[in-house]
C-alpha cells in the first residue's frame, strides 16, 4: 500500500511505469533508453575512443552513432561474435597493440561498411580465409608487427575494394602473389611485405603482376637469395621509376650464402657485383592500335589456353568480363575478343587481356595500346608541313625576283624614249632611290634623298595655273618633268642638310 501511494503522486505525463517485485525492487516495463557512453571511453558525436584503458573485454554499452572506434593499446585477447551489430555506421576500427591471436568466423559480422581496419602489433599467427571475408567494403588493412607466418591464398578474394595491405615486420617466408592478381583485386595499390623472412621470390609471377601493383609492392629488407633474375627485375623497376624501389633504394638486400645468415649485401647500391648478369630482353611493348573516331574497335586476345575464361582490364583499371560492362558500351566475347561499337577519344589507353584457366593460374596474354584519332579530309594531298614549306620557298623566290630583276632599266628607257635633256633619265632613276642624284657636288655629304613626282597643275577657281616653283615641262612630252640644273632642287627634298637661301 505504501508503494502504491508513492506511485500515485508521480506526474501523469511521466513515460515510465514501474512494476513491484517482492515489494523491494523496481524494473522498467518499457524498453530502456539509448545507451550512453561507456565509463572508460570518451565519446563525441561520431567518435568513440577507449584507448589505453587496460580493457580485457570490449565494452557493452556502445553508442550506435559512432563511425570510428578506437580500442588500441589495451589488453584485448579476443573479439566476440557479432559484437559490431550495435555499430551499424562503423567505418574505422582501431584494435592495434592488443593481445589478439586469432579471429572467429563471426568476429566482423554486420560490419559491411567498415573501410579501415588496424590490427597491427597483435599476436596473429596467420591470415585465414574467414578472417576478413565479411568486410566487403574494406579499403585499408593494417597487419604489420604481428607474428604472421602464413597468408591463405583466398584471404583477400572477396575484398574487391582493397587498396592497401600492410604485412611488414612479420614472419612470412612465402606469399601467394598469384592471389593478388586474381579476380576482385584490381584496385590494389600498396602491398607492403618488407622486413619479413622471404627467401625466394617468384620473379616470373612478379613480372606478370599489373604495373600498378608492382609500383607499390615493397620487398625490401628481406633475406632474399641473390640471383641475376632478381637483380635484373629490380633494375627494371628502378628504370621504370617504381616507388617500391625508388623510395627504398639502399634497403633492398640479398643473401650471398645460405650457410652464413649475415651475408647480406645491398643489391642495388653495389650493382657492379652483378655486372656479369646478361640482361634479358625487355617485356614486349604494348601493340599499337590506331583507330578512327566513330569506327568499331575490335581487339583480339590470344586464345592459346584451353578452357580459359577471359577478362580485359580497361585503361581506367576497370575489369570487364563476358558479356561486358553494365551499360554494354564495352562487350567481351567468350573467345576473348573485346568490342566497342563506336570509338571515342576517351577510349585511348592500354588494354590488358587476361586468361584465367583456374583459381591459381592467371596469365597475362597481351597488351594493346589503343589510340583514337580523328580522320583527315579526303582532299588533302600534302601534309600541312610540306605545304607550308613550299609556300615559304615560293615567297622567297618572288622577293628575290622583285629585288634583283627590275622590270625597266634606265638604258633601255633612254634608248626608246625621244630625245630629252641629259638629266631626264637620272631624274627618273632617282625616284624612291637612296643614292643622291648625279648633279650633287662631291662636297655634299651622303644622305637619304627621296623625291616624289607631284602634280604639275593645281586647280584654282576652275582654272589651272602653274604651281609656284614648278619646273617647266617639255611641250613635246608634257608628262616628263624637266629638272632644274642647280643643286638646290630635287636633291634637297627630305635631305638632312640645311637649305641655304
Q: What's the chain's average pLDDT?
A: 75
Find the mean pLDDT for residues 358-379.
71
User: Smallest Cα–Cα separation from 175: which of 198, 146, 207, 159?
Assistant: 198
435 pLDDT above the threshold of 70: no
d(CA 106, CA 112): 12
161 pLDDT above the threshold of 90: no
299 pLDDT above the threshold of 70: yes
Q: Beta strands 116-118 and 190-192: pairing type?
A: unpaired
- Residue 373: predicted pLDDT: 86
- Residue 429: predicted pLDDT: 43
Q: How many CB atoms lie within 10 A of CB 500?
A: 6
User: Is the pTM of the predicted complex or chain greater than 0.85?
Assistant: no
Residue that the C-alpha cell 650471398 belongs to: 256
394 pLDDT above the threshold of 70: yes
Cα radius of gyration (the chain):
46
Per-domain boundaries in the chain: 287-373, 408-501
Burial (CB count within 10 angstroms: exposed 0-12, middle 13-18, buried 19+), residue 304 = exposed
Size of the chain in residues: 501
Cell of 394: 615560293
User: Smallest Cα–Cα separation from 165: which of 138, 184, 147, 146?
Assistant: 138
Q: Which CATH architecture has domain 287-373?
A: Sandwich (2.60)
Question: Phi and psi dihedrals of 153, rounded to 5?
Answer: -65, -20
- Residue 181: predicted pLDDT: 65
- Residue 302: predicted pLDDT: 64
Residue 458 DSSP code? E
Distances (CA, A) of 492 to 449, 451, 484, 488, 500: 7, 9, 12, 6, 10
Q: Beta strands 47-49 and 68-70: pairing type?
A: parallel
Distances (CA, A) of 218 to 169, 308, 465: 12, 31, 102
Q: Give the dihedral of Cα atoms 399, 403, 404, 409; nearest 10 deg.
A: 130
Please state whether 42 falls in left (phi above 0), alpha (psi between -120 and 50) or beta.
beta
pLDDT tier at 37, thresholds 50, 70, 90: confident
CA atoms within 13 A on the CB side of 150: 7
pLDDT tier at 358, thresholds 50, 70, 90: low
- Residue 482: predicted pLDDT: 45
Paired strand residues for 463: 460
d(CA 81, CA 83): 6
What is the DSSP track for 134-179? T-TT--EEE--SS---EE-TTTTTT-TT--EEE--SS--S---HHH
Please state the separation of Cα 411 from the chain's center in Å.
Answer: 74
120 pLDDT above the threshold of 90: yes
Cell of 210: 599489373
d(CA 498, CA 421): 28
20 pLDDT above the threshold of 60: no
Amino acid at each position: 500500500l505504501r508503494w502504491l501511494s508513492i506511485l500515485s503522486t508521480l506526474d501523469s505525463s511521466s513515460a515510465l511505469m514501474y512494476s513491484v517485485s517482492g515489494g523491494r525492487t523496481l524494473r522498467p516495463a518499457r524498453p530502456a533508453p539509448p545507451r550512453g557512453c561507456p565509463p572508460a571511453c570518451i565519446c563525441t558525436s561520431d567518435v568513440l575512443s577507449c584507448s589505453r584503458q587496460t580493457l580485457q573485454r570490449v565494452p557493452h554499452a556502445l553508442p550506435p552513432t559512432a563511425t570510428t572506434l578506437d580500442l588500441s593499446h589495451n589488453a584485448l585477447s579476443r573479439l566476440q561474435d557479432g559484437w559490431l551489430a550495435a555499430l551499424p555506421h562503423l567505418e574505422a576500427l582501431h584494435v592495434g597493440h592488443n593481445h589478439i591471436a586469432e579471429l572467429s568466423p563471426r568476429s566482423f559480422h554486420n560490419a559491411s561498411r567498415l573501410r579501415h581496419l588496424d590490427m597491427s602489433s597483435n599476436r596473429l599467427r596467420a591470415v585465414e580465409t574467414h578472417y576478413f571475408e565479411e568486410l566487403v567494403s574494406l579499403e585499408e588493412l593494417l597487419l604489420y608487427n604481428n607474428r604472421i607466418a602464413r597468408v591463405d591464398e583466398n584471404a583477400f578474394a572477396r575484398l574487391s575494394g582493397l587498396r592497401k595491405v600492410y604485412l611488414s615486420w612479420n614472419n612470412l617466408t612465402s606469399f601467394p602473389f598469384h592471389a593478388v592478381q586474381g579476380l576482385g583485386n584490381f584496385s590494389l595499390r600498396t602491398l607492403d611485405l618488407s622486413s619479413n623472412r622471404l627467401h625466394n621470390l617468384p620473379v616470373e609471377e612478379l613480372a606478370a603482376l599489373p604495373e600498378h601493383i608492382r609500383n607499390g609492392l615493397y620487398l625490401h629488407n628481406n633475406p632474399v637469395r641473390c640471383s641475376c633474375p632478381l637483380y635484373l627485375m629490380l633494375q627494371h623497376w628502378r628504370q621504370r621509376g617504381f616507388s617500391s624501389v625508388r623510395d627504398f633504394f639502399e634497403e633492398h638486400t640479398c643473401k650471398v650464402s645460405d650457410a652464413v645468415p649475415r651475408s647480406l649485401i645491398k643489391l642495388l647500391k653495389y650493382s657492379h657485383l652483378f655486372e656479369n648478369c646478361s640482361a634479358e630482353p625487355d617485356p614486349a611493348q604494348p601493340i599499337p592500335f590506331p583507330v578512327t573516331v566513330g569506327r568499331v574497335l575490335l581487339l583480339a586476345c590470344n586464345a592459346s589456353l584451353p578452357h580459359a575464361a577471359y577478362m580485359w582490364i580497361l585503361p581506367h583499371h576497370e575489369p570487364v568480363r563476358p558479356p561486358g560492362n553494365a551499360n554494354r558500351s564495352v562487350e567481351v566475347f567468350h573467345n576473348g575478343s573485346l568490342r566497342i561499337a563506336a570509338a571515342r577519344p576517351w577510349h585511348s589507353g592500354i588494354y590488358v587481356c587476361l586468361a584465367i584457366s583456374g583459381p591459381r593460374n592467371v596469365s597475362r596474354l597481351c597488351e594493346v595500346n589503343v589510340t583514337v584519332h580523328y580522320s583527315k579530309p579526303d582532299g588533302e594531298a600534302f601534309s600541312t608541313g610540306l605545304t607550308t614549306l613550299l609556300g615559304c620557298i615560293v615567297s622567297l623566290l618572288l622577293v628575290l625576283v622583285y629585288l634583283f630583276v627590275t622590270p625597266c632599266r634606265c638604258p633601255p628607257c633612254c634608248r626608246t624614249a625621244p630625245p630629252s635633256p641629259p638629266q631626264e633619265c637620272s631624274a627618273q632613276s632617282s625616284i624612291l632611290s637612296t643614292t643622291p642624284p648625279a648633279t650633287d657636288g662631291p662636297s655634299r655629304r651622303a644622305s637619304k634623298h627621296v623625291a616624289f613626282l607631284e602634280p604639275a597643275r593645281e586647280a584654282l577657281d576652275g582654272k589651272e595655273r602653274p604651281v609656284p616653283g614648278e619646273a617647266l615641262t617639255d611641250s613635246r612630252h608634257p608628262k616628263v618633268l624637266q629638272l632644274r640644273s642647280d643643286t638646290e632642287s630635287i636633291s634637297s627634298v627630305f635631305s638632312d642638310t640645311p637649305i641655304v637661301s
